Amino acid sequence: MKDTIKKLVEAWGPSGFEHHVRALIQAEVQSLADEVRVDPVGNLICRMGSGGLKIMVAAHMDEIGMIVTYQDEAGYLRFDPLGGVFPETLSGNRVRFENGATGVVGHEGRPFRHDVPEISAFFVDVSDGADTNSGVKVGDAAGFFRPYEERGTRIIAKSLDDRIGCAIGIEAMRKLAALGNIPNEVYFVFTVQEEVGVRGARASAFGLAPDLGIALDVTACPDTPRSEGKMAVKLGGGTAIKVYDRGLVVPPAVKNLMVERAEAAGIPYQMEVLTRGSTDASAISLAGAGVPSGCISVPCRFVHTVSETVDMVDVQASVDLLVEIVSKPVQLA
């Protein structure tokens, strides 16, 4: 599974530009699913099984990044963020464009200022010392650039939000294919544009009209010294079963289903109450006349930085819980 994670997190794919990631995932799952297709907005939809409940499992392919809005007289690129880019993480960071050009983010004013500038003060330097054109144009997107690293059971990488959810979906598909005879009609949907407004999930949920929605995503893990916004979630404590976030109050029947399946199978879990942010589950829940929806989350330190950190104990528990849910008949009381 780690090989798949490494491949996915090092891939380039800012919001709205997920095609490289989609191609990687499609190559992994093409032989596992009964049907694989790409919908009009770019979601990769993979169907497994038939009968029972129609279950939509969503993991988003996109990552935060930036889009070029202007190139000034000196050749520096101005940009607008794609998703939740934090100004305090930008200065000195590296980004990569689809054509392979690498840029370094800087900002106007004093180089070591104590106050954090607004996004509008930042620029990307793509100069090469030869006054040649980097090939980057207005409208081109960039993603942050860092390699995959391991530290014991911990994985450190950019874009674990939400390539780790994609990896969990792929691994669950492998296990389901080995089991065979799935009693539900399960749609694994690898979605686009989550970071800019859960747009892909909204479109796919409308088209599929599922009976149950499950998002796979990361959640905040403020278990470091003096961190604000304490939560009952820690790295290595197991998969996180969502109860609440800013976009969704999980129906008790969905939360209880996840808890019961985890306890019956001896899967370590934690309860997630997230006071900031949301996931694809919020979009799925509002599709059509409404869809009961929940989320299986992976605790993640340093979310929306180039050093997002997860623990493989939590990742494996998330795979196990997802398989426990969709591989058996489901009744929502």
Q: Could you read off the pLDDT of 268-299 as tens digits, one per residue?
A: 999 999 998 999 999 999 999 999 999 999 99
> According to the 3-state scheme, what is the secondary structure of the chain?
CHHHHHHHHCCCCECCCCHHHHHHHHHHHCCCCCEEEECCCCCEEEEECCCCCEEEEEEECCECEEEEEEECCCCCEEEEEECCCCHHHCCCCEEEECCCCEEEEEECCCCCCCCCCCHHHEEEECCCCCCCCCCCCCCCEEEECCCCEEECCEEEECCHHHHHHHHHHHHHHHHHHHHCCCCCEEEEEEECCCCCCCHHHHHHHHHHCCCEEEEEEEEECCCCCCCCCCCCCCCCCCEEEEEEECCEECCHHHHHHHHHHHHHHCCCEEEEECCCCCCHHHHHHCCCCCCCEEEEEEEEECCCCCCEEEEHHHHHHHHHHHHHHHCCCCCCC
CA–CA separation, 234 vs 73, rounded Å? 48
Q: Could you read off the pLDDT of 77-103 as tens digits, one per residue?
A: 999 999 999 999 999 999 999 999 999
Question: Kindly report the CA angle at 199 between 288 and 41, in degrees rounded to 5?
Answer: 95
The pLDDT value recorded for residue 181 is 87
Work out the mean pLDDT of the chain and round it to a whole number. Answer: 94
The pLDDT value recorded for residue 115 is 77
**Residue holding tokens 């990488």?**
157
pLDDT at 109 over 90: no
Strand 293-300 relative to strand 212-220, pairing: parallel
Averaged pLDDT, 172-193: 96
Residue 302: exposure state from Cβ atoms within 10 A (0-12, 13-18, ≥19): middle
**Domains, the chain:** 2-63+158-326 (3.40.630.10), 65-144 (2.40.30.40)
CA–CA separation, 244 vs 91, rounded Å? 33
The pLDDT-based confidence of 73 (bands split at 50, 70, 90) is confident
Tell me how far the alpha carbon of residue 171 is from its chain's centroid: 15
The pLDDT value recorded for residue 130 is 73
CA–CA separation, 261 vs 169, rounded Å? 18
Averaged pLDDT, 47-63: 96
pLDDT at 132 over 90: no
The least confident of 8-22, 108-122, 155-169 is 108-122
The pLDDT value recorded for residue 111 is 64
Alpha-carbon dihedral 215, 18, 9, 4, rounded to 10 degrees: 80
The pLDDT value recorded for residue 113 is 64
By annotation, the residues acting in catalysis are: 194
The pLDDT value recorded for residue 79 is 97
Instruction: Return the higher-pLDDT residue of 250 and 118.
Output: 250
Q: Could you read off the pLDDT of 192-224 as tens digits, one per residue?
A: 999 999 999 999 999 999 999 999 999 999 887
